[in-house]
Amino acid sequence: MDKYQVAIVIPAFNEENTIFDVVHSVKEYGTAIVIDDASTDNTRQLAINAGAIVIIHNRNKGYDEALNSGFVEADRRDFDAIITFDADGQHSSKMLKKYIDNLKQGVDLVLGVRPKPARFSEWIFMLYTLIRFGWKDPLCGMKGYSMILYRSQGYFDSYNSVGTELSYYGFKNKYSLKQLSIPIKKRVDTPRFFSIFRSNICILKVLVKMVINK
């Protein structure tokens, strides 16, 4: 590749209402890789129609496994960096330029910071990472990674970390990083990957694992 190449990895489960517009909005910044996590609606075809590379899960594997598949594909295609981006339309594609500018300048980890966390468990998680690392929003879904960082750990996630394990690795090992405030649009329906109750339990379990494995 003769120029800086960015993969925008988008996990998706039953996101037919938003996926076409999301893929279309990010294409000017990089290559969209959508992981269709066994959707039962028209997510897959709409992502293809919008111009994404689509990875298909024949059974639902969850958020972290979807991201794992996207990272493997981006590594296989030899991209320089990866940015994770939600399929529900809450992220602003205009922020991608700031992420890419930092990554091109040699920053290994670019972390989004939302105006406020969405759940009470996220406040607890955030308090821990803020005190320990100065990490303001560990559960923001919009994160950027250099391929150097990803290849150093060798995988994205190994214990269903709700998208935090590779960033945590970057903090622990003193990789260069930048935190960016990002806007979040209001979601009009319910999250696909986790119910409110399940997500709170899952987040607290991940926090316990992080504390134990520090």
What's the mean pLDDT in 140-157? 97
Residue % of the chain over a pLDDT of 90:
82
Token look-up 């821990």 returns 128
Q: Which residues contact 75 (CB under 8 A, 6 or more apart)?
A: 147, 150, 151
pTM for this prediction = 0.93
For residue 2, is pLDDT > 60?
no
Mean pLDDT of the chain, nearest integer: 93
Mean pLDDT (whole number) for 160-185: 96
Q: Tell me how many degrees the CA angle 113-116-121 measures, rounded to the nearest 5.
A: 105
- pLDDT value at residue 209: 84
R_g of the chain computed on alpha carbons: 16
pLDDT: which is higher, 55 or 185: 55
Q: Answer whether residue 78 shows pLDDT above 90.
A: yes
